Amino acid sequence: MTNDVMRGELVRDSGASHHGVRSSTSVASPHQPSSFVIRHSSFLRASSLVIRHSLCVWLLAMSAVAQQLPMAPFAAPRQLLRLFDIGESDLRALRDGQPIGPEDQEVLLKILYRLPQIGWDEIARWQRPDVPWSALCAEPDSARTDFFVVGGRVRSVTRRTLTPRQASLFEFDHYYQLDVDLDGGPGTAVIFARAVPAAWEGHTALHEPVQAVAMFVKLGAERSGQPVWLFAAPRVAWLPDRVQASLGIDVPQVLLGQWGMDIGLWDAVRDRDGLPLGADERECFYALLHAVGRADAAQLARHTQPAVLRQLLLQPQQERGALRQITGRLRRITRIVVEEPDVRHRFGIDAYYQLDVVVPVGDQPIEVRGAPGEQAGPVYRESFPCTCCTTELPAAWEPLVDAPHVNRPVLLHGVFYKLWAYHNPLVAAYDARQRQLSPMFVVGAPQTWDLSADSRPGPGLWLGLGFIGLLIVVGSAAWALHRSDRRRLEQLRQRRAAPDLPPIGPDT
């Protein structure tokens, strides 16, 4: 591993599971040359070629050795910032007790440019849960660039636009200033971030609960005799606590906010229906797993409504984040180990379970096919697959993990995440480009479902399908394989094709 890139590797998949991407910390300077030239006279040209060849061999050898050696973590953010061309001279230019000036803004833009390149594992290791407000006021330089957990209510959001020169240099053209009334702290926190939840666009005045793991930048100018603290954050978590139709907040979002879910993370999933899980969804997926794992089981069940397959397959964007009840037959359980250190540290998730469930479709079949003119796809006449992920599994169910033959009635309560796609040989047999579409849920602990009519918990997932045929037309582009997913798909293909684990498909 070179000195320019610390980490960035795909997480190994388990069975038909999806993947995540490790957070990475890139320390390569945009101005650093990628090669060097050795100037030499003509009579030394031959010997110089030998030297250059030997040097290349040595560099390759050192690179191979470096990849095998563990890299010592940075003890403090300032050490990493120095590698990001933000040195002590830049930090000394920040003037405490003054508004943001031209020199301050240049340093602030450098920090905002580099924050996305700092891994969450580093930030999680550095962050301090409590802010020593009095110490920050007395000696702001002693805590400058340290990360703190800052919470409160955002009352205003202002979009700041960069000049064309700045936008060209820093590769972004705007950022946001959030004025936050602090919880348990004096004065106001001004948090600068490059993005805010999409629902906030167009709203300059708000009163929403927020929380951020933010870097302390400087002490600003007082407002009405109260201190102002300036921070920069990779993102600001939105934790709504009341229903607001104008912001798209209903009861499910309020509950998720109470359980610690950053509602703004749904923005990364918005356009991902019909596709595998991508790296941009990583934070949302684990945050949702963490939130549902914290939920009170009775409260979660009380607010769920029976999901409708037609709605999930044809209008998944309207179902996203909804609390739903699922009933069907459990066919496989896969335990997936979480290898990302920051996920383990921040969310407390060392592993989770993927439940492959098949559900009845009713009296009419479901046909899945590509665009008009393409070959017909599979027809589901009895059952349809869905995927449920959970951090909880009853102890009595542990022997079912990775068991080759599972067929247990199951009841689940959880949150609809997205309509995802994965490789299924039975679907690919119709068209190699096609993937299996499946509703994905993040759920609480599964329960055994009594199939007797007297004890059924309700109409379940499949209400409404017995009286109408369902035809799903998916364009070929939605099925196209993405190069970034090929490694995961090959592992998934091998898993699904294993003789002792038959792939879930039509009428299984």
CATH number where 217 lies: 2.40.50
Identify whether 133 is part of a domain. yes
User: What CATH number has the domain bearing residue 458?
Assistant: 2.40.50.140
pLDDT of residue 487: 43
Cα–Cα separations (whole angstroms), residue 127 to 116, 160, 250: 16, 27, 32
Residues 267 and 229 in one domain: no
Identify whether 174 is part of a domain. yes
In one-letter notation, the amino acid at residue 37 is V
Choose one of 175, 204, 238: the last residue of a domain: 238
Those residues with Cβ within 8 angstroms of residue 350's Cβ, 6 or more apart along the chain or in another chain: 337, 338, 344
Q: Which has the closest alpha carbon to 194: 236, 163, 156, 224?
A: 236
Q: What is the DSSP letter of 482?
A: P
Q: How far apart are CA 86 and CA 348, in angstroms?
A: 32
Q: How far apart are CA 334 and CA 317, in angstroms?
A: 27
Residues 231 and 267 in one domain: no
Residues 265 and 160 in one domain: no
Residues 356 and 457 in one domain: yes
Residues 278 and 232 in one domain: no
Domain that holds residue 203: 77-83+85-238
The model carries a pTM of 0.77
Cα–Cα separations (whole angstroms), residue 383 to 208, 229, 308, 421, 493: 43, 57, 14, 17, 21
Identify whether 183 is part of a domain. yes
> CA 359 from chain center: how many Å?
28
Identify whether 249 is part of a domain. no
Q: How far apart are CA 387 and CA 443, in angstroms?
A: 10
Q: What is the DSSP letter of 75?
A: S
In one-letter notation, the amino acid at residue 466 is G
Identify whether 367 is part of a domain. yes
> CA 245 from chain center: how many Å?
25
Residues 370 and 483 in one domain: yes
Residues 206 and 313 in one domain: no
Q: How far apart are CA 111 and CA 107, in angstroms?
A: 6
pLDDT tens string for the chain (508 positions)? 333 323 222 233 333 445 433 333 333 333 333 332 323 333 333 344 344 445 444 444 444 444 444 567 788 999 999 999 999 999 999 999 999 988 899 999 999 999 999 999 899 889 998 899 998 899 999 999 999 999 999 999 999 999 999 999 999 999 999 999 999 888 999 999 999 999 999 898 999 999 999 999 999 999 999 999 999 999 999 999 999 999 999 999 999 999 999 999 999 999 899 889 899 999 999 999 999 999 999 999 999 999 888 889 989 999 999 999 999 999 999 999 999 988 998 999 999 999 999 988 877 788 876 666 666 778 898 889 999 999 999 999 999 999 989 999 999 999 999 999 988 888 888 888 788 889 999 999 999 887 554 444 444 444 444 334 445 444 333 333 333 344 443 443 443 333 333 344 444 3
Identify whether 483 is part of a domain. yes
Identify whether 13 is part of a domain. no
The DSSP-derived string for 413-437 is EEEEEEEEEE--HHHHTT-TT--EE
Residues 210 and 343 in one domain: no
Say what the alpha-carbon torsion angle 319, 321, 327, 330 is, to the nearest 10 degrees.
Answer: 120
Residues 368 and 445 in one domain: yes
Residues 269 and 397 in one domain: yes
Residues 337 and 412 in one domain: yes
Q: How far apart are CA 261 and CA 295, in angstroms?
A: 11
Residues 194 and 323 in one domain: no
Q: What is the DSSP letter of 223?
A: B
Would you say 228 and 99 are in contact if contact means Cβ atoms under 8 Å apart?
no
Identify whether 424 is part of a domain. yes
Those residues with Cβ within 8 angstroms of residue 254's Cβ, 6 or more apart along the chain or in another chain: 240, 241, 242, 243
User: Residue 277: what are its φ and ψ, rounded to 5°?
Assistant: -70, 135
Q: Which has the closest alpha carbon to 261: 237, 277, 282, 279?
A: 237
| Total domains, the chain | 2
